[in-house]
Structures are given as C-alpha cells and as structure tokens.
Amino acid sequence: MTPLQLQAELCALINDELSLDPDVEVASDTDLLETEALDSLGVVQIVDWLSDRLGVEVPPSEVTVDNFGTVARMVDLATRLQR
C-alpha cells in the first residue's frame, strides 16, 4: 500500500468509524487532539488496525502525540515501521 492509499484509508476509518465529532471532517493534516476527533481508545483501535491491515507492530514507546496527532504523522510512522 502506498503512503497516499494509507492516508486515504486512515482518514476514512477515522471519519466513518472513530471520530468523536461528526462535524469534523478529518484530513491528513487535521490536528486530531485539538479538534477532539480522536481519543485514546481511537488511537488503540488505529494501532490494532495498522497491525491487522499492514502487519505493522507499533511499540508502546511509539504511541505518542507526535506520532498520532495527525493522519500524516501516522502514515510517516507506519512507513518507518514497515522498513
């Protein structure tokens, strides 16, 4: 999966299933914490999704605001962990 495809799938996952605020349309650069579109349970669900969908295991030390604050940062993390 390309980074662009991953970005689109993550945005769709958050918008369709995980978003806490239906009025927020999450894009790759949306600050997920500032907009309160995602909470800690949503982050855990994304970690599980990355494992199931990409086979990427996210170490607990990588579950940070820096890595999960936006979809773009999640894509960067997943790409880095796939190498």
Tokens found for residue 54: 């990409």
Q: How confident is the model at residue 7 (pLDDT cuts 50, 70, 90)?
A: very high
pLDDT of residue 83: 83
Cα angle vertex 23, ends 22, 24, to 5°?
90
Structural domain including 63 reads 3-82
For residue 36, give every residue at least 6 positions away whose Cβ sits within 8 Å of its Cβ, in sequence order, or none.
20, 21, 24
Q: Which helix (H) or strand (E) holds 66?
A: helix 65-68
Query: Mind listing the pLDDT tens digit for each residue in 40-78?
Result: 999 999 999 999 999 999 999 999 999 999 999 999 999
Tokens found for residue 18: 């995980």
> How many Cβ atoms from other residues are within 10 Å of residue 57's Cβ?
10
| Structural domains counted in the chain | 1
